[in-house]
Amino acid sequence: MTEPELKKKFRGLLDSVLGEFDDDLHLVEQKPTKRILEYDRGSITWQDYIRPKFEKFFHQNHNTIRDLKEFNECIDYAIENYDVISEYHHNRRGLAEILITFIADVFAENNRTLVFTDQEFENVYQKYETDLLAEEFPVRSFIPLHGFSCDDEEIELDSQSRIRRVEKSDIELVTDFESPTGGSIPEDWDSTSTHFLFEFEQVVEKTVNSVGCGDIGFEELDEAKHRIRSIVTALRLAFPGEVGYSTHYDHTPCAWGGSITTRTRTVRPLFYTQSMEPTEPDDLQYLYDMMTSIDFESIEPNLKMSIERFNSSYIRESERVAFADLMIVAEALCSGNDNLSKSALAQRVAILLGDNFEKRQDIFESFSDLYDERSYVWGVAHGGGKTTLGDDSLETARRYVKDLLLLFLDRRTNYDGHGAILKSLEQKIKQNHLEVEFPE
């Protein structure tokens, strides 16, 4: 079986580069650097720090490399013989960047000696050929989950999404290899609380605009953001404690993306004070499915705002502001467009959440106290001067809001919207006051 012509072109290109820059390549090869990055789950050792040196060398000499006869022949052959390449590399620039990256990868993978075997060449080439000839490329979006711990190694959410334990390869992806100090772990990963991450996989069609960068479009980015918002909301609804996140990463592990394969997207400031450990992963999967099925652009305004305020309560630097967020959510969910008194609002919360008369009476009194505290703490309109919350006020308010959100989200498909649930509730209140059960 003869070797494919494209592979011959790639191999010839490497031989020509080796012949042209033999002395310089050996000079670079003789300067390996070893470095160790300490992480709370162990240490990571890189002995191939020489790779960035190869990349720097090739990019410094890219004009000479591009003038090599074999280099131009390789580009010409690929464009002329493969429609999928000509469609996305009509300007040649994207393919040229990928070829230079390929050369760097072959030499960097075998930096112990510049005389590499056919198998060593094959290991690098096969990945590049697969990516070059494909009409789509994979994108993996992931976020580190701060404060989250679990006995399981992985929680499968669906075929594209999962929560799993952080691995060394994940840390490598977010480490700055070009750092003059030899590399460092980003601050939000360098913590004993960062053991797990959420990841979501997509397959993205190649476009001309993707040439040379492996970036994803707004539609794919929005999908990743939606998944991230869904899992964080589901975690907070399902379990006690807090889970924090601050950065969203997109990774394209393919030649199509050239040398820039991991994009960092800052999400928000990170505040968290408690840990979170799941008790029933099945509940999490159910809630994640529910949240991903919601179209946040068309969801009812009251419900959308309530989810946003609920999540914002976890990242407020001030507990008073977080408490105010939660009380706003409770009022938005239970009052709809009505302007309710403290007593009427507490009554609705009690009927919605209480299983029997005694529990409803307790909730009624407890929520009434929270309402009074909100008026004093958030005293702009009420003339209050209180600057601190009660010891359990924030968590009590959060518990009520969690239960209310779960109730309305779970029943949103059984009624004609959020308002229909409230209307049915109002009719029952008029009939039976606090002794009524919420309609099934």
Per-residue pLDDT, 377: 67
Q: Of 91, 85, 173, 169, whose CA–CA distance to 134 is shortest?
A: 85
- In this structure, what token pair is assigned to residue 274? 């408690």
Percent of the chain's residues with pLDDT above 90: 10
The closest alpha carbon to 291, from 146, 141, 157, belongs to 157
Please report, for the chain, the start and end positions of each structural domain, with discontinuous segments joined by +.
5-133, 136-282, 299-435
**Class of residue 225 by CB neighbours under 10 A (exposed 0-12, middle 13-18, buried 19+):** middle
Residue 438: the pLDDT is: 42
End-to-end CA distance of the chain: 70
Span 143-157, mean pLDDT?
86
Question: How many CA within 13 A on the CB side of residue 300?
Answer: 18
- Confidence tier at 402 by pLDDT (50, 70, 90): very high
Q: What is the pLDDT of residue 57?
A: 87
Sheet holding 136-146, edge to edge: 154-156, 161-165, 194-205, 136-146, 247-251, 262-266
The per-residue pLDDT for 366 is 92
Decide if pLDDT at 86 tops 80. no
Task: Give the residue, 106 or 219, on which the prediction is more confident.
Answer: 106
Task: Please give the residue that has the higher pLDDT: either 392 or 216.
Answer: 392
Is residue 194's pLDDT more than 70? no
pLDDT category at 1 given cuts 50, 70, 90 is: very low
Q: Decide if pLDDT at 46 tops 60.
A: no
Q: Please give the biggest Cα pair distance in the chain.
A: 93
